[in-house]
Chain A
Amino acid sequence: MSSTRLKILAIATVAFLAIGFGMAFFWTPLDADQGFKQKIFYLHVPLAIVALIGFMAAGVEGIRHLRSGDSRHDVNSYIFIHLSVVFGVAVLITGAIWAKASWGHWWVWEEPTLVSFLIVFLMYCTYYPFRYAIEDRDQQARYASVFAITAGAFVPLNFMAVRMADSIIHPRVFATSEGGLPDSMLFTFLVCMVGMGLLWLTLVKVEMAGKQASGQVSRLRRALNTDAGSSSVSGRIAPNMEVS
């Protein structure tokens, strides 16, 4: 990815998010039940949806890596999980703030979506210690893909089981008894959703460029100086893009 395209992507991200949040604050009507507090919906829900899509996409990249043996897919899978975990932290924090504002508690166990998200988040947090505990690089990539696939299959099952175990008190913003979101709120939500998706994509591209650069650096370093001791330190911490 050239730096111009990355720049365009970054500008589009900022524009969409700024317009989306601007519309959320100044254009959409106040929610009848929750009032101003409901505005966090435009941040929390897109973050959560993008994070979950990222986890699922990591599983798909895992399958593609195992099928093709191309390490690029493994790097993608790593980056997807990495960014979704970062987004996941934001989801849990914004979720706790929303819970405090709406129900008076920072954490609400009766809320199946938040609890499921926490379980999924904890599951993906184990990706890092697991990955770094394997020394051989090909084996590391293969095992990480197996993890991504297993965890990807686990996500929907987990949401189903947690939802069945609890009563549902989550604010049903999309489908209320009055028949769902007004058009202005839905449109604003979609703009925020696109903005958040673009933010994710931009960060993926930045991360990928970083991996490519460090892969190139270590390749050059190997070519210049075949001192084995100094070459593989960064490779063990995170996969590098060896194929450009």
Chain B
Amino acid sequence: MTPSRTAFMAILGKDLRTELRTMRSLPAMILFAITTFIIFRFGLDRISLSGSLAGGVLWTTLLFAAILGINRIFVSEREEGGFDSFRLAPVDRTVLFLAKAAALFIYLSVLQLIVVPTFAVFFLDQWAGLVPLMLVLAGANLGIAAIGTLISSMAVNSRARDLLVPLLLLPLVIPLMIAATGASAPLFDVGGPSYDDFGQWLLVMGLYDGVFCLVGYAVFDFLLED
């Protein structure tokens, strides 16, 4: 293993272990998402959802739950001095970006593993769309992980961290949400999933993921300088 690879595995392992032991982010995200479904049930006054309404409810909930996690990914590093120790370590700085983005990707996947089936039980009449939905989830997770890690690292050193993350993140993820809802809405159609423009939206998501992974990789160095 190269030093970067070792560092990557060490940071990722540390993050996942901390999360397993303290349970700081994930339970809150899951609870938040499920409660939001109940609010949507009464807000929209529907007991079953289909088409773009289902896609909209699912993605709004997942996005806002993700923001709770994104708020927290760098907090421990700042409060416990992780940033300082990392600056001292003789490894490439983008490793921290990659490891944090990977951790966020895993958080989001675990969140969806619980929340999406709950959503199906609550609102969906037929579940055939859930299998292709996994592709959409993976594509969106990658984008949210890249841009979320970047925004979180920018906001964590400011005075108004909790305020800035949603403020900066929401406009930035609009294209991703357009693509994710565009791809998922036909999957929830009443007569079984259809695939209108499915490939096209996946392509948009891929482009978004690629651009912001590269941007994050390129500029992250400058966020760590002291």
CA distance A157 to B215 in the complex (A): 13
Asked if residues B212 and A153 are in contact (CB atoms below 8 Å), the reply is yes
Asked if residues A126 and B167 are in contact (CB atoms below 8 Å), the reply is yes
Given contact pairs A129-B164, A143-B223, A149-B219, A165 touches B182 in the complex (Cβ within 8 A): yes
Given contact pairs A130-B164, A153-B212, A162-B178, A146 touches B157 in the complex (Cβ within 8 A): no
**A19 interface residue (CB < 8 Å to B):** no
Which of B150, B157, B178, B215 has a CB less than 8 Å from the CB of A134?
A: B157
CA distance A154 to B212 in the complex (A): 9
**A161 interface residue (CB < 8 Å to B):** yes
CA distance A146 to B152 in the complex (A): 13
Residue interface mask B155-193, A partner, CB < 8 A = 1: 101111001100110011011101100100000000000
CA distance A151 to B159 in the complex (A): 21
Q: Shortest distance in angstroms between B148's beta carbon and chain A's nearest beta carbon?
A: 12
Q: Shortest distance in angstroms between A71's beta carbon and chain B's nearest beta carbon?
A: 14
Interface of A is mostly: helix
Given contact pairs A66-B222, A142-B223, A161 touches B167 in the complex (Cβ within 8 A): no
Asked if residues A119 and B159 are in contact (CB atoms below 8 Å), the reply is no
In the complex, which residue of chain A has the Cβ closest to the Cβ of B224? A142
Which A139-178 residues have C-beta < 8 A from chain B? 139, 142-143, 145-147, 149-151, 153-154, 157-158, 160-162, 164-165
Chain A residues contacting B159 (CB-CB under 8 Å) are 133-135
Q: Shortest distance in angstroms between A158's beta carbon and chain B's nearest beta carbon?
A: 5
Chain B residues contacting A164 (CB-CB under 8 Å) are 178, 182, 200, 204
**A123 interface residue (CB < 8 Å to B):** yes
Interface of B is mostly: helix
Chain B residues contacting A134 (CB-CB under 8 Å) are 157-159
CA distance A162 to B167 in the complex (A): 20
CA distance A150 to B216 in the complex (A): 8
Q: Shortest distance in angstroms between A233's beta carbon and chain B's nearest beta carbon?
A: 16
**B79 interface residue (CB < 8 Å to A):** no
**A122 interface residue (CB < 8 Å to B):** yes
Which B180-221 residues have C-beta < 8 A from chain A? 182, 200, 204, 207-208, 211-212, 215, 218-219
Chain B residues contacting A142 (CB-CB under 8 Å) are 222-223, 225
Q: Shortest distance in angstroms between B36's beta carbon and chain A's nearest beta carbon?
A: 23
Q: Shortest distance in angstroms between A146's beta carbon and chain B's nearest beta carbon?
A: 5
CA distance A207 to B225 in the complex (A): 29
Chain B residues contacting A160 (CB-CB under 8 Å) are 175, 204
CA distance A126 to B160 in the complex (A): 12
In the complex, which residue of chain B has the Cβ closest to the Cβ of A163? B178
**B138 interface residue (CB < 8 Å to A):** no
CA distance A160 to B212 in the complex (A): 15
Asked if residues A123 and B172 are in contact (CB atoms below 8 Å), the reply is yes
CA distance A150 to B168 in the complex (A): 11
Given contact pairs A126-B167, A129-B164, A164-B204, A150 touches B175 in the complex (Cβ within 8 A): no
Chain A residues packing against B (C-beta within 8 Å): 66, 119-120, 122-123, 126, 129-130, 133-135, 139, 142-143, 145-147, 149-151, 153-154, 157-158, 160-162, 164-165
Which 7 pairs between the two chains have the least Cβ-Cβ distance? A161-B175, A133-B158, A123-B171, A133-B160, A161-B178, A146-B219, A134-B158
Known: A146-B150, A161-B178. 13 other contacts (CB 8 A): A120-B171, A130-B158, A130-B164, A133-B164, A146-B154, A147-B168, A149-B215, A149-B218, A149-B219, A153-B211, A153-B215, A161-B174, A161-B208
A to B CB contacts below 8 Å, 11 in the list: A120-B171, A122-B171, A129-B163, A129-B164, A133-B164, A147-B154, A147-B168, A150-B212, A161-B204, A162-B174, A162-B178
